[in-house]
Structure formats: structure tokens, C-alpha cells
């Protein structure tokens, strides 16, 4: 394992959140879609389930997405900004069967604040470890999704199996065509 478990989960969750606004689609069109995202990624804590909460999460998504294209200095600046503006206060907690991990916001804080701070804490680990290059854009030309490469040999190139297959099949066809 490259990072602590909660950091790795938070990184994948941040990438998933960014990707809900990529690919020319809005995957968080309404509160019901946000409910599904929250359930899928096992977010706990209070929910408002209103338009303001949804807007807050969508606005955060664009800011988090920017870090995938940033150098360490800009990324550090964004992380500090997110932690400052959401008044992060790191605390060790145990809940819902999870062993000790860090929450830096209270369960009553707005969902977007909790998402922002959790992502920022995870990015802080990545930056401290000098591993920002693990935040990758999908290598498929026609895909703008992001992912986090936590593989041992830094070999993950695609956001999903779907993209990997599509590109591999296209490359295979091209080889066949040029061979014949």
C-alpha cells in the first residue's frame, strides 16, 4: 500500500467526483444522483439534500479537478486554501466499523466542506510524498476523465477498463491493417 487506506479511498473518491462532470456529461444532475454518489462512496454524516448542497458539491468538483494538471507548488497552494477556507481541524476518529482515520471536519459540516477537506488531506499526503505524478489524466485521446495511479510500477494509464479496452482494440486493428 502506497498511502494509508483512508488516503487511498479519499483519492479515488475525489477522482470519481471530478469525473461526474467530465466526458461532456453531468452525472450529478439532481439530488437523487448525489444521493447515489454519497452511498456508493460511503460518505457518512449529515445531509441537506437541497439545491444548495448540490451546487456546493458541483462547484468543488471543478476546483478539485484542477489539481490533476498542477505542479506541486500550485497544488500545495490549493490544498492550503481548501483547508483554510473550510476551517479544517484534523482529529482521529473511529466509526461505522472503520478503524482510526482522520476527519478534519465535523459530521455536521456541509457535505461539500467535508468532501473538500477529505480530498485536501489526501492530496497533502500525495504532495508530501512527492507523488503528485500519480494523479493522471486518462491516456485515451477521446476521454477527459482523471484517475489516481496507485500501482506499484506506475503503470496505470486509463481511467477505466472500458477506455483501456477501446484503445487496445483500436491499436490491434491498426496493427492488423498495416500488416496486411
State which H helix or E strand residue 100 sits in.
strand 98-103
Question: Residue 143 interacts with Zn ion (CB under 5 A)?
Answer: yes
From 20-28, 46-54, 58-66, 139-147, span contacting Zn ion (CB under 5 A): 139-147
Q: What is the rounded distance in angstroms from the CA atom of residue 143 to the CA atom of residue 162?
A: 11
Q: Is 93 helix (H, G, I), strand (E, B) or coil?
A: strand
| Cell representation of residue 46 | 449529515
Return the residue of 138, 146, 148, 167 that touches Zn ion, per CB under 5 A.
138
Return the residue of 83, 140, 146, 167 that touches Zn ion, per CB under 5 A.
140
Do the Cβ atoms of 114 and 87 come closer than 8 Å?
Answer: no
Question: Residue 10 interacts with Zn ion (CB under 5 A)?
Answer: no
| 34-59 per-residue burial string, b: 16 or more CB within 10 A, e: under 16 | beebbeeeeeeeeeeeeeebbebbbe
Report the relative pairing of strands 135-137 and 146-148 from DSSP bridges. antiparallel
Cβ proximity to Zn ion, 67 vs 159, nearer residue: 159
Cβ proximity to Zn ion, 13 vs 60, nearer residue: 13
Return the residue of 18, 34, 163, 167 that touches Zn ion, per CB under 5 A.
163
**Interface with Zn ion in residues 14-43 (CB under 5 A):** none
From 63-71, 78-86, 127-135, 161-169, span contacting Zn ion (CB under 5 A): 161-169
CB of 23 to Zn ion, least distance (A): 8
The residues of the shown chain that bind Zn ion, judged by CB under 5 A, are 138, 140, 143, 145, 159, 163
Amino acid at each position: 500500500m502506497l498511502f494509508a487506506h483512508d488516503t487511498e479511498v479519499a483519492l479515488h473518491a475525489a477522482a470519481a467526483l471530478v469525473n461526474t462532470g467530465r466526458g461532456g456529461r453531468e452525472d450529478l444532475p439532481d439530488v437523487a444522483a448525489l444521493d447515489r454518489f454519497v452511498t456508493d462512496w460511503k460518505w457518512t454524516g449529515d445531509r441537506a439534500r437541497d439545491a444548495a448542497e448540490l451546487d456546493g458539491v458541483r462547484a468543488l468538483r471543478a476546483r478539485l479537478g484542477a489539481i490533476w494538471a498542477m505542479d506541486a507548488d500550485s497544488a500545495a497552494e490549493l490544498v492550503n486554501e481548501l483547508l483554510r477556507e473550510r476551517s479544517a481541524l484534523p482529529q482521529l476518529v473511529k466509526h461505522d466499523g472503520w478503524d482510526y482515520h482522520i476527519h478534519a471536519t465535523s459530521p455536521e459540516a456541509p457535505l461539500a466542506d467535508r468532501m473538500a477537506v477529505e480530498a485536501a488531506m489526501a492530496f497533502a499526503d500525495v504532495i508530501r510524498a512527492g507523488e503528485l505524478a500519480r494523479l493522471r489524466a486518462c491516456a485515451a485521446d477521446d476521454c477527459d476523465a482523471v484517475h489516481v495511479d496507485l500501482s506499484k510500477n506506475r503503470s496505470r494509464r486509463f481511467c477505466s477498463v472500458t477506455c483501456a479496452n477501446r484503445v487496445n482494440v483500436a491499436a490491434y486493428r491498426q496493427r492488423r491493417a498495416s500488416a496486411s
